[in-house]
Amino acid sequence: MDSANQKNGGFAKLLDWINKLGKFKDEVVNIAKETKKIGKDDPRRIIHAAKVGLALTLVSLFYYFKPLYDGFGQAGMWAVLTVVVVFEFSVGGTLCKCINRGCATLLAGALGIGAEYLAELTGKTGEPIMLGFFVFILATGSTFARFFPYLKRRYDYGILIFILTFSLVTVSGYRVEEIIELAHQRLSTIIIGAATCMIVSLFICPVWAGQDLHILVASNMEKVASFLEGFGDEYFHLPQGEVDDANTSKEGKLFLQAYKSVLGSKASEETLANAAWWEPGHGSFRFRDPCNQYLKVGALTRQCAYHIETLVSGYTNSNKQAQTEFHKIIQEPYSKMSSEAGKLLLELSSAIKNMTHPSSIVENHLHNMKSAIDDLKSVLQTSNHSNNNNKSNLLDIIPILAVGSILIDIIHSVEKVSEAVHELSNLGHFKKMEKQKSTTTFAPEKIQQKLHKGIVQPVNDNADMDVDHVVIEIRDTSKEIIHQENNGDTNKKQGQQQVEV
C-alpha cells in the first residue's frame, strides 16, 4: 500500500510538474504573442529600442576606451546617464530633453558657482548654513515653478535638471576653481551624450511627433467617418434590438466601435503637439507645424465622437420594437445625412493625410449633407400633413426623431471640422491637387456653390455627375468606386424626390 501510495504520490507530483510546465509554456507563448502584437502594431517600436541600444553602446564604448576615460575621468558616466534619460520615442521629445538638459546644466552650474563663492565668504561655520539656505530656496522656488502650466509643458525637465545640478555643485564640497573644472567636464560629457542621442534620433529612421499628430488626427477623423458611413445600414437593415449584440459578436462590425478610442484621445494629441513644438522643419513639413490647428481639428472631431456616443446609447436604450411605418419614411434622409457626413469626413481626412487642399468633392458632400436635412424636413412635413391619422403615436417615434436631431448636430460639427481643415490646409501650405484643378476649370467651385444654394435645378444634376467622375479618378479602390457610384444614384433619386415635393 505504502509503495503504491508513494508511486501514486510520485505520479501525482510528476503530473503536477507537467501541468506547471504546461502553464509556464502557455505564459511564455502569451508573452511571445503580445510581444509580436506590440511590434506589429507599430514596427517603429522595435527600431526605437535598437536605436537606444545603439546610442548607449556608442557612448559606453567611447567612455570605456582608455584615452577618453583618462580625459574625462568619472564624469564620463554622465554621458551614459544622459543617453538613458534623454532618449525619447519621437525626435521632438528627444530634442526637448537634450536642449532642456544642456541649458539647465549651464545655468545651474553658473548659479551654483556664484552661490559657492558667496558661501565661502561667510567662513567655515557659516558656509554649510548658507549653502543649505540656498539649496532650500532654489529647490522650493523651482519645484513650485513646475506647477505653472506653460513651464510644465515646455521646460519641466529643464527645471528638474536645474535643481539637480545646482544642488550637486553647491554641495560638492570643492573649491570654486575645482568646481569650474568639474562643471566643464560635466558639460562636455553631457554634450557628448546629448549629441549622440540627437544624431541617432534624427538620422536613423526618425519618428516625428508632428507627423504622428498629423496621422492621429487624420485617423481619428477616419474612425468617426467609418462609423457614420456604416450607421445608416446598421440602423435600418437590422431590427433595432440586435444592433448592440451584433457589435460585440461580429468582427465585421468593429468599425462601429472604433470611434470610442477618439473619445479619450485628447491627452495623446496634446503630448504629441508639445513634442512637435521642438521639431525643426522636415520632409513635407517645411514650416513650423500648425500644431494648434491640428489640435483644433482634433477637438472638433472629438465633438462628433461625443455626439455619436449619445446616438449609440440612444438607439440601444430605445425600446426594441419592430420597425414602424415611420421608420421607413425617414430611412432615406437619415441614411443620406449620415453617409454624406461620413464621406465628407473621409474626404477631409484623406486631404490631411495627403497634405492636399480639400478637393471640390468636399463642397459637394457639404451640399448633399445640407440637402439631406432639407429632405428630412420636407418628408416630415408631408407625413405630418397628409397621413396624420396613419402615423403612429408620437411616443413611439421620439427615439427615432432624436436620432435625426443628433444626426443634425453631427452634421453641424462636421461642417466645423470642414472649416477647420480648410484653415489647416492654408496654414500648413498644403499643395493643391492637380486633378482637382482640371475639374475646377470645368465646373468652378463657386458657381457650383451658388447653384446649390437655390432650389434643385437640372444643372445641379450635371454638376453632381461631374464631381462623381472626379471621385472615381482620385480614389482607385474598386469598393470606393461602387460606394460613390451608389451614392451618385441616391443623389439623383433624392434630387427627383425633392423636385416632386
171 lies in the binding site for its own copies (CB under 8 A) = yes
Sole binder of its own copies in the list 406, 417, 421, 433 (CB under 8 A): 406
Instruction: CB nearer to its own copies: give 45 or 282.
Output: 45
- Give the nearest distance from C-beta 91 to its own copies in angstroms: 16
Segment near its own copies (CB under 8 A); pick from 110-118, 132-140, 367-375, 474-482: 132-140
Beta bridge partners of 285: 282
Our finding on whether 395 is near its own copies (CB under 8 A) is: yes
The CA-to-CA distance between both ends of the chain, in Å, stands at 96
- Residue with grid cell 451608389, as numbered in its chain: 486
Closest distance to its own copies from the beta carbon of 501 (Å)? 13
Question: Would you count residue 110 as binding its own copies (CB under 8 A)?
Answer: no
Among 9, 10, 71, 173, binds its own copies (CB under 8 A): 173
Site of grid cell 506590440: 38
> Which residue from 1, 267, 322, 455 is in contact with its own copies, where contact means CB under 8 A?
267
The distance of closest approach from Cβ of residue 410 to its own copies in the complex, given in angstroms and rounded to an integer, is 9
CB of 70 to its own copies, least distance (A): 11
**Stretch 42-101 residues interacting with its own copies (CB under 8 A):** 45-46, 48-50, 52-54, 56-57, 60-61, 63-65, 69, 74, 77, 80-81, 84-85
The CA distance from 170 to 180, in Å, is: 12
- By beta-carbon proximity to its own copies, the closer residue of 22 and 132 is 132
303 vs 339 by CB, closer to its own copies: 303
- Examine residue 324 and tell whether it contacts its own copies (CB under 8 A): no
Sorted by sequence, the CB contacts under 8 Å of residue 443 that are 6+ apart come out as 360, 463, 466, 467
DSSP classification of residue 280:
P
For its own copies, give the closer residue by CB, 21 or 401. 401
Nearer to its own copies, 76 or 230 (CB): 76
Residues 415 to 434 in contact with its own copies, rule: CB under 8 A = none
| Helices and strands counted in the chain (H then E) | 20, 0
Using alpha carbons only, give the angle 21, 23, 25 rounded to the nearest 5 degrees: 70
Q: Residue 443 in contact with residue 463, Cβ under 8 Å?
A: yes
137 binds its own copies (CB under 8 A): yes
Q: Does 135 bind its own copies (CB under 8 A)?
A: yes
- Give the cell for residue 414: 462636421
* Amino acid identity for residue 260 in this structure: K
Q: Binding segment for its own copies among 38-46, 104-112, 213-221, 458-466 (CB under 8 A)?
A: 38-46
Query: From the list 409, 445, 466, 480, which residue makes contact with its own copies (rule: CB under 8 A)?
Result: 409
* DSSP letters for 480-498: HHHHHHHHHHHHHHHHHHH
DSSP state of 76: G
The correct pick among 106, 111, 164, 191 for binding its own copies (CB under 8 A) is 164
User: Does residue 451 interact with its own copies by CB under 8 A?
Assistant: no
- Asked if 405 touches its own copies (CB under 8 A), the answer is yes
Q: Is 408 in the site for its own copies (CB under 8 A)?
A: yes
- Contact criterion met (CB below 8 Å) for 100 and 194: no
Residue with cell 437619415: 334
Find the shortest distance in angstroms from Cβ 480 to its own copies. Answer: 30
CB-based contacts of 279, cutoff 8 Å, min separation 6? 90, 91, 92, 95, 208, 209, 210, 285, 289
Q: Which of positions 462-501 make contact with its own copies (CB under 8 A)?
A: none
User: Is residue 84 within 8 Å of residue 196, measured between CB atoms?
Assistant: no
Half-sphere CA count of 155, side-chain side, radius 13 A: 17
Binding mask 275-314 for its own copies (x = CB under 8 A): ----------------------------x--xx-xx--xx
Taking residues 364 to 393 in sequence order and writing x for each that binds its own copies by CB under 8 A, - otherwise, the string is -------------x--xx-xx---x----x
How many residues interact with its own copies (rule CB under 8 A)?
81
Q: How far is the CB of 153 from its own copies (least distance, A)?
A: 14
Is the separation of the CB atoms in 358 and 421 below 8 Å?
yes
Q: How far is the CB of 21 from its own copies (least distance, A)?
A: 24
Torsion of CA 250, 253, 255, 257, to 10 degrees: -80
- Shortest CB 79 distance to its own copies, Å: 10
Alpha carbons 106 and 114: distance in angstroms, whole number: 13
Q: Is 139 in the site for its own copies (CB under 8 A)?
A: yes
Judge whether 172 and 179 are in contact, CB under 8 Å. yes
Q: Which one of residues 147, 390, 434, 476 is an interface residue with its own copies (CB under 8 A)?
A: 147
| CB distance 364 to 467 below 8 Å | yes
Residue type at position 150: Y
